Each structure stands twice: as C-alpha cells, then as structure tokens.
Structure 1
Amino acid sequence: MKKITIAIDGFSSTGKSTLAKQLAKHLGYVYVDTGAMYRAVTVFAMKHNYISEDHLDKKKLVDSMPEVHLHFEFNPELGFAEMFLNGKNVETEIRTLEVSRLVSKIAEISEVRSRLVEQQQKMGKNKAVVMDGRDIGTVVFPHAELKIFMTASPHTRAQRRYDELLELGQQVTFQDVLQNVNERDYMDTHREDSPLVKASDAVELDNSGLTKKEQFQLVLSLVTERVTA
C-alpha cells in the first residue's frame, strides 16, 4: 500500500492534533504538530523577554533563531511525541493560555515561518507523515495527497479549550478563552505571510457535532480512498 502525506489545517481548538495523532498511530505514520513548534518559539521569546502582551522585539528574536533547537521525542506512555526546546521538554509549558495569547504574533514573523517550514518539509520528505497546522496544505505540502481543513463554531472550540485547560489545572475563565479563540482566528486569517486559508483541494470538515470516533472514521475513509487510488 502506498504511503501518502496527510495535511491537516484549520482554526485553533478544532482538534487537529487529536485527529492527527489518531491517524498517525493507526497508520504507523510520523506525526508532526507544527503548532507546538510555533508555541516552543513563543516560549523561547518569552523567556528572553522578546515578547509580552504589549511588546515584541522582532529583530532580537529573528537574530536569535539559530539558538532555537526544536525536536520531538516519542513518549510511549502518552502515545505521542512531545515537544523539546533546546533539550528541555516543554510540552506542558507550551499549552498555557499565556502562550496561546502570544503565539499568533510569533507566527506572523516571516523569518520564523521560513525557518520552521524548512524543518517541517524535511520531516515529511519521505511521506508517511501526518502534519497539522495552519499552512500545511497551502505552503508546507501543497501537493499532499490528502488535505483536511477543520472548523467548528468559536463557542464550541472555546468550550473544548476551556475544558482542556481546566484538566491541566490552569485557572482560566471561559470568557477569556473565547476571547483568545476569536483573537487568534482574526490574526491567523489576516497575517500577510501564509494566512490561514482553505486549500482549493482540501476537504472541509466541520466537527461541531461530531464525536472523535465519528470524525476519525470519516477521515480514515478518505485516507483509504487516497492510498488505494
């Protein structure tokens, strides 16, 4: 059976990573969470005081990018690969609401995107990869055999994110999470470099009313169509 590239794009908190992990595990493919990479760069920028709610030193961050070393390590207990920044596991750190508030600003920087896209393309050069993010089907792998564009209502996505943060023990309000979802939607779709758009040949998936199992089975049928074509 032939190996393909699966590109999953979409809005924040649509469950892109959950679906991608399920597919990668089922198919025996490599999974790459590109959002985690941008979040890790955000953590790096925060630690060096390059970014805050009202400040961004773009030049210092860009000049420091050669110091940013990212890699994934598979955690057999969790069943997926975790994000490492300069040798340190930052998987929990990158999932905070504070990072969520700032990551879209980092993703707007062309020099950062260029560096990360290059790494992402290397990760998927041999196919048999499931990659999720905002520009996978349009920029990173424009010739991917299967492209999925995921969406859901802002309220539905905010509720999912809110529940997730509470499970992680974070003190947040639903209103703050909803505001963050709406702000990220605007920034992701309006940035000049590689804005979030649906690729012309992508399959749109609104999962507002789908269970994770229903969603997985639906996309798996699309995968089967592509690998047997």
Structure 2
Amino acid sequence: MEDELKRILRLLEEGKIKADEAEKLIEALEERKESKRRDKFGFINIGEIVTDALTSAFSIIPGVIANSMKGIKHVDEEYEWTEDKPLFIEITAGDLDVDVWEEEKIRIMGEGVFVLEDNLIKFSAGDFNLNLPKLNTVKMKVSAGDVKGKLVAKESEIFIKMGDGNLYIESEKVRAEVNMGDLDIVFVKAPSQGELTCTTGDISIVLPSDFDGKLIVKVAMGEVSVDKKPDMIMKGDTYIYGSGEKSEIFVNCSMGNISIK
C-alpha cells in the first residue's frame, strides 16, 4: 500500500494526474486497505497499532496534495551556514538525499518547491539533494517521503510519518522515529544517547566495530535478530557490549522486526 500511495503522489507531482483524481485514487486505496483489515464479521483483526499508524499517515494527504500543486522548479542554491547555527527541515512530500561536505554553507539541489525561513527549510514537493556542513543541531520532520544519506551533528532528530529512513549518522545524541515505514541506521560512531522508534515497519541497526555500550530492545509484535554478538544479555532485552557504559541506545518497534548488526 505504501508503494502504491507513493506512486499516486509521484504522478501528481509530475502533472500526470489532477488533484481530484489523486484524491479519488487515495480514497479507493484506503477503502481497499480497510476491507482487508476486517474479517467476515466486520471486526478489525490486525490491532489498534496499525489502525493508529494508518490514521496518522493518511491525515497528511490533503496537505500533500495542496502543496504538490504549487509550481515546481529546478533549484541549485547555496546559503552560508555556521556550525553553531541550528538547522530545521520540514518536508511535506518528496524524497531527500543528504550528504556532508567541508564548506560552511548548505547547498540545495533538485526539482521542486522550497522556502528558507531563518533556520527552517520547508520542502513542499519534489526531490532534493542537500549538502550540509558539520552542525551542532539538525532536526528533520517528514510528512511523506524517504530520507537517505549521511548526517554529522552533535544532536540529530528525524521524524517521518510515512516513508523510510536510511542514514549514516555520526552524532552524540540521536533520536529517529518512523510512523509507517522502515528505519535503517548505520552508526559511524556510537552516540552517547540514542532512541529509535518504529510503529509499523522494521528497524535495522549497524553498530561500530568497537561499540561499547548497551542496547535496550523492545518489540510488541515482531522478532529481534542479533548478528553482532553481545558480551552479555540482561533481562532478555538488554544487550551489553564491552563495559556497557559509554553508549545507551533504546530501540522500540510496535509492529515489525529489529535487526542488530
């Protein structure tokens, strides 16, 4: 369903369908999903977790459609940006590819619509590449779309309502949350504090080879696979590596699997 929804949004962005046609397709998609969630007696049978996730995801659709109708243009712009200046990013619809460079400026490239307001970049529609310097604070909020690439910041926060996150992260403090989609995180260096959450979808974590810390893993409906063998397991859900004192990472998945490598 997620792939079908993205295809509808992509067609809308490319101008191949109109807004009212997109709304009808999305309504049909939601109705089909609803029918699959009900048994022969008419009762929901896959639980409140998925219902809440879908409700949250579909609540952003009207805004996505409205913003996608604005004029899309080619963008290649640079802005001065020092390390101590926090960066906030909001994405209504579209994919973002992030990379790090040595310049004390940010570079925005792609096709779509964006607005820069003080410390905030708002992407309304389209796909973009974003080059960033090393920063103290990066916070990102995505309504519908995928985020991939690399982030280097003392503090990183990523929230995705509907889409996937696939990132290499080098941060002291990390918080990442996906409502409906998968989260793949490679820790270039171990954070002192980390929190990864997924409502419906899978989480994959790659730890540094010299990781010294603890992982606290919680799964409501799903499985946990651990390829990177811990030195100790406590209470069944806490994995200790080395002294277990230099890093603490919480991983929580409501409905999906967790993989630790």
TM-score interval, normalised by the smaller of the two chains: under 0.3
Greater share of residues in helix: 1
User: Larger relative contact order (C-alpha < 8 A, sep ≥ 6)?
Assistant: 1
TM-score (structure 2 length as normaliser): 0.24
Greater share of residues in strand: 2
Larger Rg: 2
